[in-house]
């Protein structure tokens, strides 16, 4: 392999509490997570010279976040593209470190979406807007769930995909969640009604939220956050844990156009760039951390990342193929329990990097034996309209 190994994830932390009961702020979650991730790496605040921030701690974050942390970084990147922002941050950190502009990059996330009772999925959207796209879309009463449901409806129409096939994604994720004590605690704290492994029948018989998506195909709304520390090879060699190398990155956006195909996401553009840089294919991945806002998000992205051909995802996922203890080749999906059953405070992208790193360190609660390669793919915005894709390929030391 001719991969460039010029930056590595050396520290991670996932904030364990999913319901802070309004007693902790997003900024406090970010700072706490940053300190724990730096400790995980064996580094200190003073080692950080680059900050990446999606604005979740408030406006003008590039101006304010360094002061809050008490740092003097010389690289400040505030790319904000929704839930995939952290894949973009990892890509930019790698680029900045490779260019010699930084040695230790800090990515943080904090959100109190649950405590704020912010109805992300079915809440009020629309009304007068000064952005032209929103000003055309806002009168129809689209909920976030129905936006993704329209992708599922078209996927079913074009390729014959079924609700039972989509349910495979929900049940594999829940299986992994039940093995992760923090995910089980999250479901208890968020008052899930029936906390157990699920079956395809459980999913397709759960309440319809927006046809054809059922309740158990929709992610939770939690509080939470986390942090990731990325370092140069020289720094990484002296860190406490083995480095997890960033070996490929890709970015893309997609939006509605006359005649466009809603069943293909921006991942179809970002993934070949990331895999190309790594000199690898999807088939070689042990782990797939894919943003599971909804079942259809994963189905679409498994195809767009190249695990199978477009339209063949339904057959491909069948028979428990995505489980950590799967009998056949192919990646284990969202081994932390995912956004569906472990952690979704609104922008889940950072957890994709964190769990992929755990797997390549051998630290997951649903560990895949000998896992060496992982893809973390984030989706931001809304899949059924305008959205962002960030693909990161990770390799063990």
Shortest Å, Cβ 41 to other proteins: 42
Tell me whether residue 139 or residue 188 sits nearer to other proteins (CB atom). Answer: 139
- Which of 122, 175, 118, 111 has its CA nearest to residue 144? 122
Instruction: Evaluate whether 7 touches 245 at the Cβ level (below 8 Å).
Output: yes
Q: Considering the complex, what minimum distance in angstroms separates the CB of residue 156 from other proteins?
A: 9
Q: Which is nearer to other proteins, 194 or 257 (CB)?
A: 257
Closest CA to 378 of 363, 388, 393, 366: 388
Angle at 25 between CA 88 and CA 103, to 5 degrees: 35
* Smallest separation, CB 215 to other proteins (Å): 9
In the bound state with other proteins, the residue whose beta carbon lies nearer, of 262 and 322, is 262
List the alpha helices (DSSP H) in the chain. Answer: 26-41, 61-69, 85-98, 132-137, 144-159, 163-178, 181-189, 200-204, 233-236, 267-278, 295-305, 313-317, 338-341, 349-361
Cβ atoms 217, 153 nearer than 8 A: no
SS3 381: strand
Side-chain-side CA neighbours of residue 381 (13 Å): 18
Toward other proteins, which CB reaches closer, 209 or 376?
209
Nearest approach, Cβ of 109 to other proteins (angstroms)?
25
| Identity of the residue, 81 or 149, whose beta carbon is nearer to other proteins in the bound complex | 149
324: helix, coil or strand? coil
CB 228 within 8 Å of CB 354 = yes
Residues forming contacts to other proteins in the complex (CB under 8 A) are 119, 122-133, 135-143, 145-147, 149-151, 153-154, 157, 207-213, 256-260, 262, 384-385
> Is the CB of 146 or the CB of 365 nearer to other proteins?
146
Residue at token pair 């704290």: 189
At closest approach, how far in Å is the CB of 384 from other proteins?
8
Please state the closest distance from residue 386 (CB atom) to other proteins, in A: 11
Q: What is the nearest approach in angstroms of other proteins to the Cβ of residue 222? A: 18
Nearest distance from residue 218's CB to other proteins, in Å? 10
Distance CA 7, CA 303 (A): 28
Nearer to other proteins, 110 or 121 (CB): 121
SS3 70: coil
Q: Which is nearer to other proteins, 81 or 218 (CB)?
A: 218
316-343: string of b/e by CB count within 10 Å (b at 16+)?
A: bbeeebbbbebeeebbbbbbbbbbbbbb
| Distance in Å, CB of 126 to other proteins, minimum | 4
Cis peptide before 145 (omega within 30 of 0): no
Tokens (6 digits) for 26: 């997003």
- On whether the CB atoms of residues 230 and 246 are closer than 8 A, the answer is yes
Instruction: State the virtual CA torsion across 273, 88, 242, 229 in degrees, nearest 10.
Output: 160
Nearer to other proteins, 63 or 119 (CB): 119
Tokens for 110, please give them: 């904090």
């Amino acid at each position: 392999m001719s991969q460039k190994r010029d930056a590595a994830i050396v520290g991670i932390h996932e904030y364990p509490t999913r319901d802070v009961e309004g007693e902790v702020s997003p900024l406090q979650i970010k700072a706490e997570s940053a300190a724990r991730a730096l400790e995980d790496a064996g580094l200190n605040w003073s080692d950080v010279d680059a900050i990446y921030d999606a604005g979740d701690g408030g406006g003008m974050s590039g101006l304010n976040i360094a002061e809050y942390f008490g740092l003097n970084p010389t690289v400040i990147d505030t790319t904000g593209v929704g839930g995939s922002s952290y894949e973009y941050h990892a890509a930019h950190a790698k680029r900045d470190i490779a260019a010699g502009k930084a040695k230790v990059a800090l990515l943080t996330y904090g959100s109190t979406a649950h405590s704020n009772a912010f109805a992300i999925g079915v809440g009020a959207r629309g009304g007068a807007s000064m952005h032209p796209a929103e000003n055309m879309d806002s009168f129809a009463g689209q909920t976030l769930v129905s936006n993704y449901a329209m992708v599922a409806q078209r996927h079913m129409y074009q390729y014959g995909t079924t609700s039972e096939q989509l349910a495979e994604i929900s049940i594999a994720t829940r299986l992994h969640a039940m093995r992760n004590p923090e995910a089980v605690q999250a479901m208890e704290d968020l008052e899930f009604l029936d906390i157990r492994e699920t079956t395809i029948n459980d999913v397709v018989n759960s309440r319809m939220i927006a046809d054809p998506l059922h309740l158990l195909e929709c992610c939770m709304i939690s509080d939470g956050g986390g942090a990731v520390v990325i370092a140069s090879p020289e720094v990484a060699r002296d860190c406490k844990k083995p480095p997890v190398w960033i070996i490929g990155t890709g970015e893309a956006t997609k939006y509605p156009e006359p005649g466009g195909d809603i069943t293909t996401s921006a991942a179809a553009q970002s993934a070949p760039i990331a895999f190309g840089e790594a000199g690898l294919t999807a088939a070689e991945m042990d782990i797939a951390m894919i943003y599971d806002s909804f079942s259809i998000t994963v189905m679409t992205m498994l195809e767009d990342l190249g695990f199978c051909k477009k339209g063949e995802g339904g057959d491909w996922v069948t028979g428990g193929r995505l489980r950590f203890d799967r009998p056949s080749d192919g990646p284990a999906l969202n081994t932390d329990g995912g956004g569906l059953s472990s952690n979704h405070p609104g922008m889940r992208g950072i957890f994709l990097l964190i769990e992929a790193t755990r797997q390549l360190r051998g630290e997951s609660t649903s560990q895949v034996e000998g896992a060496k390669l992982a893809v973390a793919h984030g989706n931001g915005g809304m899949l059924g309209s305008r959205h962002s894709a960030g693909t990161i390929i990770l390799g063990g030391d």
